[in-house]
Structure 1
Amino acid sequence: MALGISELVDDLSNGMVALGPPSSTEELQLHFAREVHDEVAQPLINLILQIRALRAAHQGEEPFGGELAVLEDSVRQVLRRTRGMIVDLRDRADMRLRFAEALVRELPTPAGRNLRVQASSRWPAEINGWAAFNLLRIVQQAVVNAWRHGQARAIEVMLDLGLADDAIVVVLDDGIGLQDSTRGFGMIGMEERAVILGGTFTAQTRGTGGTRVEVRIPVAHLA
């Protein structure tokens, strides 16, 4: 049973990567959201119901009952993440336009701290939904890391185009910089999202203090 869960998660991950950059049309995003719901979320829900039935049938039998409870909790966590992705795919179509404004709405800013988003006039007026979704996730993770682990008080997010026709997203904070204990927090996921978009990801401690996260994506991949 555990193997089945692992295979479902692997299929979801492989499916996301294999899709590559789809069309920027909202219809494709909604189609993918429906596919994820039908092919992944619904089987997970059915699996939870089966585990519940097994728990009821073996109530009081330890350690079997306890192992089933742990298994059900694990499946619920996967389902929660899957549903979150479905919501993102359905509701992020507006992010293709005015991406900087969307970032301001979506990025968490605790009370007493400052976050500023700046977009160069050269930043594309519209980017495709696949790019918007992945860039949002990268910036969100970088911002959360800065607040939670970097002890930052202020963050600046900059969107620009480089000389080599690269779209550049930079996240700067005034925190304590990267520490050995914090280098793993979401870094692999951020890099994977950049690679999916055909770009690069770097994160390093700034000489003046704080952290600099930079993503470079060929501008053609945003169209």
Structure 2
Amino acid sequence: MAFAPEPAARFRHHRSLRWQVMAAVIAINLCAALIALVVVVANARRATQAEMLSSLAVTERLVQDSIERAVAQGADADTLARLPQHLGTFRHVRLRIESADGRVVDVPANPDGHDPVADDRDEVPGWFAALVTVAHTERAFPVVVDGRTLGQIVVAGEASDEIEEVWEDMSALALLALGVNLAILCALYVVLGRLLMPLRTLSAGLSELEAGRFEHRLPMPNVREFAVIIDRFNALGAALKLARDDNLRLNERLIRVQDDERREIASELHDELGPCVFGLRANLESLGRISAQAEPALARRIGERSATMVEIVDRIQGLNRRLLRRIRPMALGHVPLAAVIADLVADFENHAPDRLFRLTLEGLAERYGDCIDLTVYRCIQETVTNALRHGGARNIAIEARGGDTEIVLVILDDGSGFDPNAARGFGLIGIEERISVLGGAWRIQPSPPRGTRVSITIPISAGETGARTQERASA
């Protein structure tokens, strides 16, 4: 039981090898890009954590120094307000000054006045920032004057600067990798097209072999592996051509042997059986004349027996003539081919007087050689016999046209048609063998509205063409 292929398998079977290789390379690149993203994110997280902790350690010392300088300038209510003057700009951290009651007094900004966190959020995609962001770390440093806590400076780790740097580096690397991969894919597409060209050539060559053109040969490619395949293909074509030529020679020899045997049998029937039958008839007629001298009763009995034997002899003569015509017409090779065909059609008319036959002969030479003449005769004989016996045709048209290089036969009938799935009989098989030996072609097909059309083409060899031309010139 045959199973239908899965949809995925059907999709793969309909994709070319070039596109399958390209798809595999693209899939590998996507997997490599995903792995690279995971590695970049992991490294970025570690680098961001290290940078942020390092910045926090440096900032803590600077914040403590700034608090001491601010307190040293005077311990009053404006101490918290003076702290931003002593604090600079720090990377990877944010400062926040809060009063003792938790109110935010000031948030020191960058010298250009922009909030780095807000700017980074605008430039870095949220999904990437969420992947790289590390745990938030804060430390508070109290501002104590004369034992009284005025407020505190909160130092919080901020990874936005490092995330922005990682994003910029990764974006530039991704663009470079995308450009390189596109260039590689384009080059791979062109290279695969050139490398796989022998496969397309091989496919075309296999189509030639399928059509029976075994002499077709493929050029040797530059790729060693393909060269081995092409070399085997050419060897296969040569072997098939040799086998076909051997088969044609064997078939031709077989047909010639069969024709020779038929010729001998027909000659014996004509030269041996014919005279014997004629002698029987002559003796019966002589016996009839002798019986006239006998007694009336005896003469009557002898006459009845003689008449019966004459009928039998006539039937034997008719059977002999039909056998001769079936095996090999004696006139073939002695009279023009057109006359032999006309005699064949006339014989069909005598045996089927209720059928209508129409014969068209045009451009036929007197003779084309024994093999071609007999093939033409057999083709017409077998196709008309099938039309009468199996198709029940009432009207049969026979057309035979001779040209410079081929003979074309068309037999058209209005019978019941044919079954394409039915097994062919020995007659059609014999026609096919004869036509193939001569290098011809034939086709049987329905003929609308009903009936069958048989088309046969028989090529004429150079020697036979010259002989035919000479015969026409002498005529």
TM-score by length of 1: 0.57
Q: How far did residue 90 of structure 1 move?
A: 5.0
Decide whether aligned partners of structure 1 residues 181 and 212 sit closer, same or farther in structure 2, where only a CA change above 3 A counts. Answer: same
For 2:357, the equivalent position in structure 1 comes to: 115
Unaligned runs of 5+ in 1: 1-13, 22-28, 39-79
For 2:253, the equivalent position in structure 1 comes to: 18
Structure 1 contact 30–89 (Cα < 8 Å) conserved: no
Q: Secondary structure at the match of 1:92?
A: coil
Q: Secondary structure at the match of 1:151?
A: coil
Q: Secondary structure at the match of 1:94?
A: coil
String of CA shifts for 1:65-89, please: whole Å, max 9, x gaps. Answer: xxxxxxxxxxxxxxx9xx8599627
Q: Structure 2: how far apart are the matches of 1:86 and 1:147?
A: 16
Q: How far did residue 166 of structure 1 move?
A: 2.3
Matched, 1:176 2:411: no
Q: Secondary structure at the match of 1:119?
A: strand
String of CA shifts for 1:114-144, please: whole Å, max 9, x gaps. Answer: 1121112x33343212211121111111001
Give the stretch that moved more between structures: 141-150 or 203-212: 203-212
How many residues end up aligned between the 2 structures? Answer: 157
Q: Structure 2: how far apart are the matches of 1:85 and 1:196?
A: 23
Q: Structure 1: how far apart are the matches of 2:260 and 2:420?
A: 40
Q: Structure 2: how far apart are the matches of 1:19 and 1:197?
A: 13
Q: Secondary structure at the match of 2:461?
A: helix
**Alignment counterpart, residue 165 of structure 1, candidates 402, 405, 427:** 405
Q: Structure 2: how far apart are the matches of 1:85 and 1:123?
A: 21
> Stretches of 4+ moved more than 4 A in 1?
29-32, 34-38, 83-87, 180-183
Q: Structure 2: how far apart are the matches of 1:133 and 1:187?
A: 15
Q: How far did residue 148 of structure 1 move?
A: 0.9
Q: Structure 2: how far apart are the matches of 1:181 and 1:150?
A: 16
Matched, 1:149 2:387: no
**Alignment counterpart, residue 447 of structure 2, candidates 189, 206, 210:** 206
For 2:370, the equivalent position in structure 1 comes to: 129
For 1:140, the equivalent position in structure 2 comes to: 381
Q: How far did residue 187 of structure 1 move?
A: 1.8
Q: Secondary structure at the match of 1:176?
A: coil
Q: How far did residue 145 of structure 1 move?
A: 0.4
Decide whether aligned partners of structure 1 residues 18 and 154 sit closer, same or farther in structure 2, where only a CA change above 3 A counts. Answer: same
Q: Structure 1: how far apart are the matches of 2:262 and 2:419?
A: 38
Matched, 1:101 2:370: no
Q: Secondary structure at the match of 1:93?
A: coil
Structure 2 contact 262–328 (Cα < 8 Å) conserved: no
Amino acid at match of 1:147: L
String of CA shifts for 1:163-192, please: whole Å, max 9, x gaps. Answer: x83210111111111125765232211111
Q: Structure 2: how far apart are the matches of 1:87 and 1:148?
A: 19
Structure 1 contact 138–193 (Cα < 8 Å) conserved: no
String of CA shifts for 1:46-99, please: whole Å, max 9, x gaps. Answer: xxxxxxxxxxxxxxxxxxxxxxxxxxxxxxxxxx9xx8599627542235x1x2
Structure 1 contact 100–118 (Cα < 8 Å) conserved: no
Q: Secondary structure at the match of 2:353?
A: coil
Q: Secondary structure at the match of 1:201?
A: strand
Q: Structure 1: how far apart are the matches of 2:437 and 2:373?
A: 12
Decide whether aligned partners of structure 1 residues 166 and 92 sit closer, same or farther in structure 2, where only a CA change above 3 A counts. Answer: closer
> What is the aligned-residue RMSD (CA, Å)?
3.8
Q: Structure 1: how far apart are the matches of 2:261 and 2:386?
A: 32
Specify which structure has the bigger relative contact order, considering alpha-carbon pairs within 8 angstroms and separated by 6 or more residues. Answer: 1
| Larger Rg over CA atoms | 2
